[in-house]
Amino acid sequence: MELYIDGTFVWNGRAHVSVVGKRTGRSMIAAYRQALQLISEANIDGFRDKYEGGADCATWTTDQQTVAISVRTASIEKTINHYLGCQGFSRENDLLQLEVGLENAMRIRDFVR
């Protein structure tokens, strides 16, 4: 889901979601503000760009989902790709908390269940 400063969102559900296809809407200004606060508190620049395997993971399991977080503001441009089968890395709990916080703020569950 893309979320913009004016509260506009764009969802593009591809597979294994309850809302398939592109949907747009508005009235998520509070979600935008909350997302920015979560990103700021998490110190997003302190995360690696990828947690996908190899030396990044103490434990590795297959057939898991990938969570991608992309942020672009006047002061931040960062993308994090987190394969959920990659576990046991530094700041893992911080990243998981950020993912859940963003999911809740943006009401992602409304689109995936």
Phi-psi region of 7 (alpha: psi -120 to 50; beta: other; left: phi over 0): left
What is the C-alpha to C-alpha distance for residues 11 and 1, in angstroms, rounded to an integer?
5
What is the C-alpha to C-alpha distance for residues 68 and 82, in angstroms, rounded to an integer?
6
Sequence-distant contacts of 49-52: CB under 8 A, at least 24 apart: 49/78, 49/79, 49/80, 49/81, 50/80, 50/81, 50/82, 51/80, 51/81, 51/82, 51/83, 51/86, 51/89, 51/92, 51/95, 52/81, 52/82, 52/83, 52/86
What is the C-alpha to C-alpha distance for residues 81 and 44, in angstroms, rounded to an integer?
12
Q: What is the mean pLDDT of the chain?
A: 89
What is the C-alpha to C-alpha distance for residues 105 and 83, in angstroms, rounded to an integer?
21
Tens of pLDDT along 49-73?
A: 999 988 889 999 999 988 999 998 8
Of the pLDDT bands very low, low, confident and very high (cuts 50, 70, 90), residue 87 is very high
Of the pLDDT bands very low, low, confident and very high (cuts 50, 70, 90), residue 7 is confident
Which pTM does this prediction carry? 0.86
What are the residue ranges spanned by the domains of the chain? 2-112
